[in-house]
Structure 1
Amino acid sequence: MSKLHVMKDGTFSYSYDGEIQMLALSKLAEMGNKGETTFEAECWDDDFEERECTAEEIEEQKTAWDASAEQREAKSRREVEQAKALFGGIDPSNPEAAQELADHLSRQRGWDQVIYKGDGLFEVDFNISGRMSHDFVFPVVEKMPVANSFVTVVLRKDNQIRVDAPGFANAGSGNPMHGMMGGMAGMMQMMMEEEGGEMPEVVLPDGTFTIITDGRILANNTDEGPKTVAKGQSLSWDVTPRSEQAPTALIALD
């Protein structure tokens, strides 16, 4: 569940209570190392059916394998450095990387609870409040580049704000972190294709995103429009695997 309060006096609060999946960080070590240290000969017949290799073929392939050892090692080092850059210096090939990331987030303001549940899945309780004197983005992870976000609030002229929630639309992946972790997803996909592996199971989104405001709602893409509540009006979106359109709203705080 995600909720944004933004009021005419300039105060705002944002909360997120739910799960965040970061594409199975704990599996990266297995993916990156699979097949790199173990040689296995492969042979096919004229119909492209796998067959048993001859001793000569095994020896020939083993010689080529040994000759490419330095190249494989360099490729592995590049992948590790690329992954570390995406994760703010944390080495995701380390089996303890996910817990390290959870501890890292817990030190940031707003992250009241970050529990690692395994397979790249985090249980999160995030709460923050302040004044709407600047743009707001969730989530922000220290030293980690963000290609996309769950929620952005952008200040406009004439005391207006635009709220977008790209992370709460399916966009074909079913993963609410698809934008933020897009680079890592591509890297993981290539690694798995090369090693014959499968993508980890992705947790499907299931929740709501709500905006509550006493400002004037100028535009929104909810199904039912604004509803009157104690503090003004509310806009609400269901977030499911069928959510193809990202929530958006334009609000005047005058």
Structure 2
Amino acid sequence: MKQIFKLMAALSAPLLLSGCFLLPGKFNTNLKILDGDRYEFGYTGQIQMTMPDDGKLKKPSNEPFDPAKLKCRDLVYKSDGRVDAQRPVYGDDYDRYGKDADPSIDTDNLSYDVVDRDCTEEEITKRKDQYDREQARKLKRYNEESAMAGAFFGGPIPGDDESMVAFAKKLSKYRGWKKVEHAGGNIFDVEYSETGPIGNYFSFPVLPDAQMQYPFFQIIRRSDGAVELLTPGIAGQGSLFNMMMMKESGGKAPKISDIDGVLTVETNGTVVNNNSIDGFAEKGDRKMMSWKIGKNAETEDGPRALIRF
């Protein structure tokens, strides 16, 4: 098991490094694999994009430094009148001497008084320089993470509504995407349906311009002509994939909405094996299989099936 874990960690290193993932949300999927050479696929529900920091990049404020928001104070010791200048506090920064910092402290028993005063020009200049450097650093990090997210997903940046709406319009131009709407946050409501020859490979979803793809469902042709159903991109919060992600990212995984879906597969081929709880039911010349996926899943394994014709 340790060797498998290490192998998965190595293969997934680029994803773990970025913390970017594409996952389903609530959905319903229907797949027909017929005659060994054609498929009919439909997906209705949610797709969610996840990132570190609860999946939301925060663009730093472009508000200029305001000296009026700078608070300067001295500690004046009661015993000898000694004055100890304190570090200036700006805006919403933590203020250890603020009124609400620690209400349990009995100020009457302190050995000093906290005395507000005007800030010196030197203190204002020093704190402004620090503020400007902090803003520049935050903006640089935001731009780098935004560019990385945009590259991974092919344009959309979780947390940036404008880019998410633009991506929805872009994706709706491609075949199969009947509906793509940004539902707020990092979630899209989608309707996708497509039919065609199986060929050697079918995958959903495929994102245009994305450097990484995260297929929920795959149909792959084997060399003997059999068709295999795989679901590599479906991972719940308790899965090995996400446990590994938490381990590699220092114990904090991106926040995701519930994965809660149903996959129904219909075929007129011979089902060699499948891992659905109830196996398959026959209806005429068709075999029907169904899996619950996500929080209501009846197994930790992703749906799999092998079908021959």
TM-score of the two chains, using structure 2 as the length reference: 0.61
Q: 1-side partners of 2:217 and 2:194: how far apart?
A: 13
The answer for the alignment partner of 2:278 in structure 1 is: 224
- Secondary structure, aligned partner of 1:118: coil
The answer for the alignment partner of 1:193 in structure 2 is: none
Conserved? CA contact 1:169–1:245, under 8 Å: no
- Secondary structure, aligned partner of 1:130: strand
Which residue, out of 59, 64, 87, partners 2:130?
64
Q: 2-side partners of 1:220 and 1:144: how far apart?
A: 31
* Aligned-pair CA distance for 1:71: 3.3
Compared CA separation, residues 126 and 53, structure 1 to 2 (3 A): farther
- For residues 37-94 of structure 1, give each alpha carbon's deviation from its aligned partner in whole angstroms, at most 9, with x where no partner exists: 575433559xxx87999877x8565543334444333323212221221232345564
Of 145-154 and 69-78, deviating more is 69-78
Conserved? CA contact 2:161–2:185, under 8 Å: no
Conserved? CA contact 2:273–2:307, under 8 Å: yes
Compared CA separation, residues 208 and 53, structure 1 to 2 (3 A): farther
Q: 2-side partners of 1:14 and 1:71: how far apart?
A: 46
Q: 1-side partners of 2:178 and 2:138: how far apart?
A: 42
Does the alignment pair 1:42 with 2:106? no
Does the alignment pair 1:32 with 2:58? yes
Conserved? CA contact 1:5–1:213, under 8 Å: yes
Conserved? CA contact 2:217–2:231, under 8 Å: yes
Compared CA separation, residues 155 and 171, structure 1 to 2 (3 A): farther
Compared CA separation, residues 18 and 91, structure 1 to 2 (3 A): closer
Conserved? CA contact 1:5–1:13, under 8 Å: yes
Output the amino acid matched with 1:222.
S
- For residues 138-159 of structure 1, give each alpha carbon's deviation from its aligned partner in whole angstroms, at most 9, with x where no partner exists: 0001111334221011111111
Which residue, out of 200, 203, 215, partners 2:269?
215
Which residue, out of 183, 189, 194, partners 1:128?
194
The answer for the alignment partner of 2:46 in structure 1 is: 19
The answer for the alignment partner of 1:205 in structure 2 is: 259
Of 65-74 and 32-41, deviating more is 32-41
Equivalent runs, 1:176-195 vs 2, <5 Å: none
Equivalent runs, 1:70-109 vs 2, <5 Å: 70-90=136-156, 94-109=160-175
What's the C-alpha RMSD, in Å, of the aligned pairs?
3.6
Conserved? CA contact 1:17–1:126, under 8 Å: yes
* Aligned-pair CA distance for 1:119: 2.3
The answer for the alignment partner of 2:34 in structure 1 is: 7
Output the amino acid matched with 2:34.
M
Compared CA separation, residues 147 and 115, structure 1 to 2 (3 A): closer
Conserved? CA contact 1:3–1:209, under 8 Å: yes
- For residues 219-246 of structure 1, give each alpha carbon's deviation from its aligned partner in whole angstroms, at most 9, with x where no partner exists: 2111110110234211110124143321
Conserved? CA contact 1:154–1:163, under 8 Å: yes
Note the residue ranges of structure 1 that are not aligned, 5 or more in a row.
Answer: 191-198
Output the amino acid matched with 1:8.
D
Conserved? CA contact 2:236–2:294, under 8 Å: yes
Q: 1-side partners of 2:186 and 2:230: how far apart?
A: 26
Q: 1-side partners of 2:167 and 2:115: how far apart?
A: 45
Q: 2-side partners of 1:54 and 1:14: how far apart?
A: 69
The answer for the alignment partner of 1:248 in structure 2 is: 304
TM-score of the two chains, using structure 1 as the length reference: 0.73
Q: Which has the larger radius of gyration?
A: 2
Output the amino acid matched with 2:58.
G
Equivalent runs, 1:129-148 vs 2, <5 Å: 129-148=195-214
* Aligned-pair CA distance for 1:115: 2.7
Q: 2-side partners of 1:116 and 1:101: how far apart?
A: 9
The count of aligned residue pairs is: 227
Q: 1-side partners of 2:190 and 2:127: how far apart?
A: 49
Note the residue ranges of structure 2 that are not aligned, 5 or more in a row.
Answer: 1-27, 66-89, 104-113
Compared CA separation, residues 12 and 120, structure 1 to 2 (3 A): same
Task: Give the fraction of aligned pairs with identical amino acids, expressed as a percent.
Answer: 24
Q: 2-side partners of 1:6 and 1:169: how far apart?
A: 24
Of 58-67 and 243-252, deviating more is 58-67
Compared CA separation, residues 108 and 159, structure 1 to 2 (3 A): same
Of 59-68 and 129-138, deviating more is 59-68
- Secondary structure, aligned partner of 1:127: strand
